[in-house]
């Protein structure tokens, strides 16, 4: 393996043409991912998390314009055609989708679908394929995997479908695993089981994981580092401890404060909330995009000048003008 990061994303922009002009779903995203590391990507709906995920595999809609740089082991992926990207997809960089029910082909047996993912990259005999598929299903915790492999998706429960999706994603032992809200569509109990599987995958393989979620609990449990996104922009990036306990961005602080807690109740037992709504991507506020909702916003600074991502600590970045005033709690 070469030195340097496994995956290096620089100034990634994903833009969609709309009747109201170009809409930047992702605006200047920069991060690095090392082998075996788990990066949590957090943000509200519409923050650009999923657009980032699809851009990583070159699976964005055709009309979207992707600029910047995505380097995998030093090789630039942006600008590559479909044919050149195919060897990476599912082999070196794999993806787990949010809704396993719709992401599995209803007329293909589970085992055949997983085998498809392997056959797209490796020429294996029928028996080798079968053995590998059964091994994968067992790894993700599906009992009697040999029989299960012959069943159709509709014969699986929701949680089992998500496990099958995970098995499909790790089929070729990828270097990078992009998980796009893998637990969002599931019941809480099933969520816990799927997360357990994810943790096992993390231990078993050397894959780096990009865990996209709006669930801070998932991040706390799984991630080594956290990237917080707001309105397509990167607002904070750092180690999970730094971001959770020494956050240097008011938006992250607001998110964390909104988590329900049993030990510390707010006035009247109400949950903290961030006032206002995320901005429409067509009407991004001037200056810092968070300033209209920010309790720390300064007139004449935050509404005029857009903060750059600055180093605020050891491997910890924040894009806030007033980060120095946000004392660690």
Partner 1 sequence: MARPSDSSHLSADAVDLPTAAARPAGNGFIRRYSRHKSAVVGAVVLAVIMIACFGASWLAPYGKNQQNLDLAVHGPSLDHWFGVDELGRDYFSEVLYAGQLSLKIGLAVGILATMVGAAAGVIAGYFGRAVDDVLMRVTDLFLIVPGIAVLAIALRGLGQRDTTIILVLSALAWMRVARVVRTQALSLREKDFVVAARASGASHRRVMARHLLPNMLGAIVVNATLAVAFAVLAEATLSFLGFGVETPRTSWGTLLEKASGTVGTPTVYLLYFPGLMLFLVVLCVNFIGEGLRDAFDPGDGER
String marking each residue 15-44 x if it binds partner 1 according to CB under 8 A: ------------------------------
Q: How far is the CB of 160 from partner 1 (least distance, A)?
A: 5
Q: Specify the stretch interacting with partner 1 by CB under 8 A; choose among 12-20, 143-151, 236-244, 273-281.
A: 143-151
Contact pick of 106, 268, 295, 300 for partner 1 (by CB under 8 A) = 106
Decide: is 107 part of the binding site for partner 1 (CB under 8 A): yes
> Cβ-count burial of 144 within 10 angstroms (0-12 exposed, 13-18 middle, 19+ buried)?
exposed
Tokens 């991004």 correspond to 284
| First-last CA distance in the chain | 40
CB 196 within 8 A of CB 189: no
CA-CA distances (angstroms) from residue 120 to 21, 109, 310, 313?
38, 17, 42, 44
CA dihedral 73, 78, 83, 88 (to 10 degrees): 30
CA separation, residue 260 to residues 55, 79, 88 (Å): 33, 44, 40
Shortest CB 299 distance to partner 1, Å: 45
- The reply to whether 80 sits near partner 1 by the rule CB under 8 A is no
Out of 25, 94, 228, 326, the only residue in the binding site for partner 1 (CB under 8 A) is 94
Query: Residue 277, interface with partner 1 (CB under 8 A)?
Result: no
Using CB under 8 A, list all residues that contact partner 1.
Answer: 54, 57, 59, 82, 86-91, 94-95, 97, 99, 102-109, 116-117, 120-121, 128, 131-132, 134-136, 138-143, 150-157, 159-160, 165, 168-173, 190, 193, 204-206
């Amino acid at each position: 393996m070469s030195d340097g990061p496994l995956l290096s994303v620089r100034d990634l922009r994903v833009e969609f043409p709309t009747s109201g002009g170009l809409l930047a779903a992702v605006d200047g995203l920069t991060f690095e991912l090392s082998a075996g590391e788990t990066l949590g990507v957090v943000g509200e709906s519409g923050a650009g998390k999923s657009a980032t995920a699809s851009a990583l595999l070159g699976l964005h809609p055709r009309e979207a314009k992707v600029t910047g740089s995505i380097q995998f082991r030093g090789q630039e992926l942006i600008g590559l055609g479909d044919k050149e990207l195919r060897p990476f997809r599912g082999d070196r960089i794999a993806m787990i989708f949010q809704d396993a029910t719709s992401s599995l082909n209803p007329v293909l047996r589970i085992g055949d679908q997983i085998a498809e993912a392997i056959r797209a990259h490796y020429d294996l005999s029928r028996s080798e394929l079968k053995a590998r598929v059964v091994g994968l299903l067992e790894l993700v915790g599906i009992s009697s995997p040999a029989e299960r492999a012959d069943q159709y998706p509709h014969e699986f429960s929701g949680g089992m479908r998500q496990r099958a999706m995970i098995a499909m994603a790790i089929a070729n032992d990828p270097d990078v695993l992009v998980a796009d809200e893998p637990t969002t569509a599931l019941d809480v109990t099933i969520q816990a089981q799927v997360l357990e599987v994810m943790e096992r995958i993390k231990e078993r393989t050397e894959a780096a994981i990009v865990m996209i979620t709006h669930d801070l609990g998932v991040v706390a449990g799984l991630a080594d580092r956290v990237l917080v996104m707001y309105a397509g922009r990167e607002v904070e990036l750092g180690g999970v401890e730094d971001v959770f306990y020494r956050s240097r961005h008011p938006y992250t602080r607001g998110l964390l404060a909104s988590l329900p807690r049993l030990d510390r109740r707010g006035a009247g037992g109400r949950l903290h909330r961030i006032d206002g709504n995320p901005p429409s991507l067509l009407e991004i506020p001037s200056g810092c995009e968070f300033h209209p909702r920010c309790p720390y916003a300064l007139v004449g600074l935050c509404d005029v000048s857009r903060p750059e991502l600055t180093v605020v600590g050891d491997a910890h970045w924040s894009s806030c003008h007033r980060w120095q005033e946000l004392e660690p709690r």
